[in-house]
Structure 1
Amino acid sequence: MKARNLLVALLALVALVAVGCGGSSDEPGGGGGATGSSSSSGGGGGKTNLSLVAYSTPQVVYDEVIPEFQKTAQGKDVGFKTSFGASGDQSRAVEAGLPADVVSFSTEPDMTRLVDAGLVDAGWNAGPNKGLVTTSLVAFVVRPGNPKNIRTWDDLLKPGIQVLTPNPFTSGAAKWNLLAAYGQAADGGKDPQAGLDYVSKLIKDHVKVQDKSGREALQSFVGGQGDVLLSYEYEATTAQKKGEKVDYVLPDDTIKINIDIAKTKDAPPAAQSFLDYVLSKPAQEKFADWGYRPVNQEVLDANADKFPTPPGLFTIEDLGGWSKVNDEMFDIEKGSIAKIEEDAGVSTAK
């Protein structure tokens, strides 16, 4: 326990230094650190400063959304400090003292950690958008032209196929990936053992490397490792938009990913203004442009052709909800998937 507390404190210190220094290490081809950051200030001298702490992937979107917010009446005097990194690391850093006014994570347990710490209101997900800023799906990111003809989950288990997915004990993306793998084999949770058997075979026989975050896993794939990357649909579309040579496949059976956002309890009023803007049509269109499924219904309807619904789509609620799933599958002492990872020699340290 003392070692864990020391690790959390060190995470917060590293994140604080990164925010203070500015710059970014989370872009593909960049420094590759778990926590990147950038700074910008609003017009009129930045009378209010907001700290946005988020998981790694949507940095490209916020780099566009923040300047647009600063052009509005509500945002013209608002400056920003931002920090992006692996979702679990970011959540633990805020818990340990990293300043944050708005937080966005890729799994609900990372937000729950801050609720339990008294930093985020327990009703953070009670509004019309249920605390979501976007959604996505777990997809197969493949080489151009899909030379291994990877279409289904069974294809991932073919001899010689190498699969990349990050470490679920640091990455929210990894949890979603493994829940998608589990859920499709478990018939949406109806046959738990079949789901665990599939995850075990996938990890032990086909996953050789588990990076710290979804963004690092993408960098490894783009760098030439593996035949297929399990990742968010929008990781693939973002990579394509940046000129990376990748294709992607949406399997018929996959899980809907919920991306959470909230303000912290002590955040200034400008934090709510920013949240409102992030959910507005102009900002949601920015998310849609990068391949994120908008939660603004008008924007989602306008992009319906871009975001098809797979016939076998299931949700975290179908699997029992995050509280049940996180405890039964990812608890480092008793979780079924944690045991599979441990047996495969993967670090379960957070």
Structure 2
Amino acid sequence: MNRTLKVAAAVSVAGVLALTGCSGDSSANSGDTVNVVGYSVLEQANKNEILAFNDTDAGKDVDIKGTYGASGDQSRAVAAGLDADEVHLSLEPDVTRLVDAGIVPKDWKDNDTNGICTQSVVVFVVQKGNPKGISTWSDLVEPGIGIVTPNPASSGSAKWNLLAAYGSVIADGGDEAAAKDYMTKFFGNVAALPDSGRDATTAFTGGTGDVLLSYENEAILARQSGQDFDYIVPDTTLRIDNPCALSTDASKPAQDFLDFQKSEEGQKLYAETGYRPLVDVGDVTVEGANDPANAFPEPQTLLTIDDDFGGWDEANGKFFGDGTDGEPMGILTQVQADAGQ
């Protein structure tokens, strides 16, 4: 492909999209341009991946172009016509939408990583010195605590965050009624629901709220970039699995880039920006982590989408269904609506 489409207007919840086309780099040979569509938090980390890939024999003269934004919006944009050789999104349902549209093959998960390219966990980001003493999920629903988390209508990271919050109650022995009651209090404390994980970080660092729910890697990367805040890995948290897939007509350079991202070298580069590596990458120093030499501590209880929520096929409708097409409103969608958020 020799062209890159750019999103000229954000995709609304209703799916309104405007796209403009522009010519690619004229020096690129036909088939050597790879268009990557990713979720917002990935953008900075991919810069080093692309530079390193271009230094390999397979990546020489390959032009990697990236478009980044809120995961749900990015998925809808591709379904509406945004050019993509690779999608690297926040969560599986955003890829499933593209399988249903015939853009991504049905067997996209049939590989060594089950279709996952990057991994992280949900953490609490707090102001320097943690003046409110926030360390547990119960602290988030105390009076006077302002929570910043992205909006699940547009952001994949929001869904991970909310399921981590809900799941913490179940992991502590509570039932679904207790978890729903907790989430009602949680939404009562929400100070902002930005469109994406990156927008949520910007809002928090700009002074909004007392705690930001975020990817661990986003917190680490922000500190690498000069932000001065603290972050906490709670005792109970949720593992974040970010899927990646090629389009049905992707070129060999696109496959080569995907293979590089999953390789030991590619995973080590992702680890250096705060992602938990999928493979053993040896010793790695992660600047910005709480302990750069031991950057990825094991939580006491690590929830997973498959083991604790029945997988995304079940969880997405159960918790985030929008009530259309005769389907019931999702549990968390309803709680959010009832809270006026």
Q: Does TM, normalized by the shorter one, top 0.5? A: yes
User: 1:140 & 1:46 partners in 2: Cα distance?
Assistant: 45
Cα distance in 1 between the residues matched to 2:49 and 2:277: 14
CA deviation vs aligned residue, 1:18-56 (integer Å, no higher than 9, x gap): x749xxxxxxxxxxxxxxxxx8x69x7444111000000
The Cα offsets for residues 286-337 of structure 1, whole Å up to 9 and x where unpaired, read as: 1111111111x22177678211110111111111111111111100112111
Q: For each residue in 1:127-161, what CA deviation from the matched residue of structure 2 results, as whole angstroms up to 9, or x when unmatched? A: 01111111111000001111111110111111101
Structure-1 residue corresponding to 2:192: 209
**CA-atom RMSD, angstroms?**
2.2
Aligned to 1:331: 321
2:246 pairs, out of 257, 263, 277, with: 263
Given that 1:188 and 1:314 are in contact with CA atoms closer than 8 Å, whether structure 2 keeps it comes out as: no
- Structure holding more strand per residue: 2
Distance 1:232 1:6, change over 3 A: closer
> Which stretches in structure 2 are left out of the alignment for 5+ residues?
1-10, 286-292, 324-328
Whether 1:53 aligns to 2:37 is yes
Per the alignment, residue 72 of structure 2 pairs with 88
Structure 1, unaligned runs of 5 or more: 22-38
Q: CA deviation at 1:208?
A: 2.4
Which runs of structure 2 are paired with 1:1-350 in the superposition (5 Å)?
7-8=14-15, 10-11=16-17, 13=18, 16-17=19-20, 20=22, 45-47=28-30, 48-187=32-171, 191-204=175-188, 206-295=189-278, 297-299=279-281, 305-317=294-306, 318-333=308-323, 334-346=329-341
Q: Secondary structure at the match of 1:127?
A: coil
User: Do 1:133 and 1:294's aligned partners in 2 also have CA atoms closer than 8 Å?
Assistant: no
Deviation at 1:187, TM superposition (A): 2.0
Identity, % of aligned positions: 45
The code of the aligned residue for 2:80 comes to A
Is the Cα–Cα contact under 8 Å of residues 133 and 259 in structure 1 kept in the other structure? Answer: yes
- Check whether the contact 1:203–1:344 (CA below 8 A) recurs between aligned residues: yes
**In 2, distance between residues paired with 1:158 and 1:148?**
10
Moved more, 191-200 or 226-235: 191-200
User: Taking structure 1 as the reference length, what is the TM-score of the superposition?
Assistant: 0.86
The structure where helix makes up a greater share of residues is 1
Change over 3 Å in CA distance of 1:189–1:170 after alignment to 2: farther
Q: Distance in 2 between matches of 1:294 and 1:248?
A: 19
Note the alpha carbon deviations across 1:85-132, whole angstroms, 9 max, x for none: 000000000001000000011111001000111111111111011111
Alignment partners' CA distance in 2, 1:285 and 1:102: 20
Number of residue pairs aligned between Structure 1 and Structure 2: 317
User: Separation in 2 of the partners of 1:80 and 1:188?
Assistant: 45
